Structure formats: C-alpha cells, structure tokens
Amino acid sequence: MQSECDSFNNRCPVGHDVRYWSGAREGEGKVGKVKYPAQILGGHTAVVYIDAGVGAVALTHVEVL
C-alpha cells in the first residue's frame, strides 16, 4: 500500500484536481483538490484527503485529472 501512496503522490501533489466517488464508482463523480498527500489509514486502506470537508477517500475511488 505504501508504494501505491507514493505513486499517487508523485503523480498528484497537494492542490491537484481529482475526481472522486464517495460510494460505488459510478456516474460522473465529483471534483475536488488534494488536501494532504495519500497515506495508509488505520493500516488497511490507502487514502487521500480531499478539500471542502470531503475527508479521506480510498485511492480506489479517486481518478487523477
């Protein structure tokens, strides 16, 4: 998971736009900006924090724009 976070952070630094889905990855999703670098949450999920109060979103539910 750490390599997944590192790869994401190299491609998508803080401030970069992403598309994300809060549930199933269906439909257009929403657009936000990366607030904090991707990290491993609770030792079990690679996540990135998105701005505007969205919070942590699993990297599997994020697309780099």
Number of domains in the chain: 1
pLDDT tens-digit profile of 51-63?
A: 978 889 999 999 9
Per the structure, the complete domain to which residue 43 belongs is given by 2-64
Q: In this predicted structure, what is the pLDDT of residue 26?
A: 84
Q: In this predicted structure, what is the pLDDT of residue 54?
A: 84
Mean pLDDT of 15-29: 90
Burial class (CB in 10 A: 0-12, 13-18, 19+), 12: buried
